[in-house]
Chain A
Amino acid sequence: MTHILVPVKLVPDLVEELQIAGSGNALDMTWLRLIISEFDDHAIEQAIILKERSGGEVTVIAPDQEGMDDVLFTAAAKGADRITKLSGDFGEGFNNHALARAFASAVEGLAPDLILTGVQGNNDLDGSVGPCLAEYLGMAYVGYVAGVSLEGGKAVIKKEYPGGLIAEMEVALPAVLGIQAAEQPPRYVAVSKVRQMMKETSIVEIDAGDLDPSGGLDVSRMYLPEAAERAEMLQGNEKEVAARLVEIFKEIGVI
């Protein structure tokens, strides 16, 4: 039976205001709202689509970040067979090399045929998790994948190129694929179903041991973008703004 593993992580919710920590070289985590990385959400969806189409089992694995339990129970409600949490020092910032190593040590016991993860996370600075994980496991990696089917010991994937061009590739399994988009948008599950999962399922914990951040970065400074070339902001009520926009449309010759 095909075993699909989906490593996921939480990233800053970009709808919220982001702030720099007192150190000046990291994000301030104090008030940061974390949500599942949207590409990881697509990876979960793609795994469940594959399971529904060709059978198999889906395991979702994640670092023990605050708020992760809800994400894992939501994955279970969507159709993941097992939900697993890596315990370790994931409270403050950690880099993707360290996370990929932690995933790799856990994966050895799980023996997946295919690993699907988000092609990137919005806070990736030392590369994304997927390529590192693939290399630590000695597997092939292909990213920007927007379509997967399993045929024999291979995955036939659709890789996106600019301008809408697609490359169809064959990848020998086991392999790691960086998912850009699932074949359909991530499904919605009712909160009641997630609550039911909280009663019926449990999260398996795996000890990730001490994290090894080597290969990560020594960031000198983080800052908010300077607003030097900021747009001219149009002020006033909606009618005034609309009138000004019409003037601009006339100036540039589209009316």
Chain B
Amino acid sequence: MNNDIYVVIEHLRGQVADISYIMLAAGRDLARETGGKLAAVLLGQNAQALAENLAADQVLYGENAALAEFTSDAYQQALAGLISENQPRAAFFGSTTIGTDVAGTLSARLNIPLVSSCSKISDGMIVSQICGGKIMAETKLADTTTLITMIPGGYKPEQGRGGPPEVKPVPVSVADLKVALNQYIEPEVADVDITKEKVLISIGRGIQTADNIELAQALADLLGGAVSASRPVVDQGWLPTSRMVGKSGQRVKPKLYLALGISGAPEHVEGMADAENIIAINIDPGAPLFDVAKYGVNVDLFDLIDPLIEAIEAAK
């Protein structure tokens, strides 16, 4: 094993995902500890140009027609070969719809450990957030190559931008694929584009029933904004997917993000952490969103909404 740190670059339809730059920032912290090089691993077809802004010592570029679009088994095969042959000290993947598919299977295939949900490297320790952000865990690098999946929060994407780095082509072999991409299905055209709203009244599990959404809508109407939601509300079918904020939903940066009954799991925070003013209203004093918000109110939201509506009406 050597001391190098790999960062598996995520890209989709010609765009490098922000998590890739965040991983490079974390990888730089870890490489400083191990004394190795920071290598970005870029897989694709005609994708070399995506290496341009990667703040890595080196880009290992694996080109193959089967890697033109992401599929879990093509990526897994390519990376299993690369990692077992070169044995880096650690390899970062996004804790994303792309990275987790690959990191988990590689861990089992190569029998090496996987540390998930890392938000920060601190003094060489891998700091993870589990239990919806309510528990932190610190893990050391193992004696073998350690795989790490990364969530946003501890670094800004700008910290991982730089370059252009040296690009080194590496051979990758991919065969007998069991997964194939048929097509991409574009998101439905939304009645409201929540990424463009200045005010979002965002609702979570705490809203309890579909009927209660009208309370949030009343607030949104008064403040000239729209209602958005965390995943559980959308999974219940109470609001369309286009209103979902978070990992699989939209990333929003409104002037005001008023969160009603949203606990603040990392998957949700990922979509709204950059909002200018976050106010969290939650009955649970331990809700992780209070660690992200500027202002917090620890009350039953149903006790607060009516007085709040009255106060806004009086102030207008």
Contacts and interface: CB of A to CB of B under 8 A. Distances in A.
B198 A233 contact: no
Interface in A126-177: 126-128, 130-132, 134-136, 139-144, 156, 158-172, 175
Contact of A225 (B70, B96, B97, B288): B288
Interface string A214-255: 111111111111010111111000110111011011101111
Contact of A238 (B105, B107, B249, B299): B299
A246 B311 contact: yes
A248 B185 CA distance: 41
Interface string B79-114: 000000000000000001100110111011101111
B165 to A, nearest CB: 25
B305 to A, nearest CB: 9
Interface in A85-130: 97, 100, 119-120, 122-128, 130
A173 B139 CA distance: 36
Interface stretch (A12-20, A58-66, A198-206): A12-20
A46 interface: no
Nearest to B316: A255
Nearest to A130: B104
B185 A166 contact: yes
A22 interface: no
A167 B71 CA distance: 10
> Helix, strand, loop or mixed for chain B's interface?
mixed
A27 B132 CA distance: 14
| Contact-size category for B | 35 or more
Contacts of B129: 225
B2 to A, nearest CB: 21
A184 interface: yes
Contacts, number: 279
A80 interface: no
Nearest to A26: B137
A239 B305 CA distance: 10
Interface residues of A, number: 88
Interface in B96-152: 96-97, 100-101, 103-105, 107-109, 111-117, 125, 128-140, 142, 147, 149
Given A131-B105, A163-B249, A246-B315, A225 B178 contact: no
A161 to B, nearest CB: 6
A185 B231 CA distance: 12
B180 A218 contact: no
Interface in A173-213: 175, 178, 180-181, 184-185
A140 B105 CA distance: 9
A74 B55 CA distance: 51
A interface: dominant SS: mixed
B3 interface: no
B139 A220 contact: yes
Contact of A18 (B115, B135, B231, B315): B135
B89 to A, nearest CB: 16
Given A185-B236, A249-B256, A131 B310 contact: no
14 contacts: A124-B116, A128-B116, A141-B105, A162-B96, A167-B69, A169-B180, A215-B107, A220-B139, A229-B291, A238-B303, A241-B299, A241-B304, A249-B256, A249-B315
Interface of A: 12, 14-15, 17-18, 20, 25, 27, 38, 42, 97, 100, 119-120, 122-128, 130-132, 134-136, 139-144, 156, 158-172, 175, 178, 180-181, 184-185, 214-225, 227, 229-234, 238-239, 241-243, 245-246, 248-250, 252-255
Given A131-B100, A144-B101, 4 more contacts: A141-B72, A175-B178, A220-B125, A220-B140
Which 4 A-B pairs rank lowest in CB-CB distance, beginning with the nearest?
Answer: A131-B104, A164-B187, A231-B296, A135-B108
